[in-house]
Amino acid sequence: VQLQASGGGLVQAGGSLTLSCAASGRSFSTYVMGWFRQAPGKEREFVATIRSSGSIYYDDSVKGRFTISRDNAKNTVYLQMSSLKPVDTAVYYCAADPKGDYSGSYYRNYGMDYWGKGTLVTVSS
């Protein structure tokens, strides 16, 4: 599975940005897709996942501000980010599990099988 994230950039605090991640593979609709992020000097952290059923799980830090969604016809997962804060500054990575179907908390703890290269989001104050 190959993943290509895009849509990062510089945005002012309070602004919005939408990330996209295009995935390869014929069975995208069965994949669990996720977003993670890594801030400068910090470890990678979980953001959100969306299962093939449409079930969604968010980290508390983004709940109510970020929305994960998927378009199976386009093999693409999105992360709509609003009310952005400087603490949201990070490289955002999309990830996929093409075979499993676990809860969001599982992926929070154990990560996912495939990773894209990441796209940088910078939120200025």
Query: What's the mean pLDDT in 4-9?
Result: 97
Amino acid identity, position 22: A
Q: How confident is the model at residue 25 (pLDDT cuts 50, 70, 90)?
A: confident
- What's the angle, vertex CA 80, arms to CA 79 and CA 86, rounded to 5? 100
Query: In this predicted structure, what is the pLDDT of residue 41?
Result: 95
Query: What's the mean pLDDT in 33-45?
Result: 97
Query: In this predicted structure, what is the pLDDT of residue 115?
Result: 97
Percent above pLDDT 70 for the chain: 100
Query: How do residues 61-114 score in pLDDT, each as one tens digit?
Result: 999 999 999 999 999 999 999 999 999 999 999 999 999 899 999 999 999 999
The tokens for 30 are 């069965």
**HSE (side-chain half, CA atoms, 13 Å) at 22:** 4
Query: In this predicted structure, what is the pLDDT of residue 85?
Result: 98
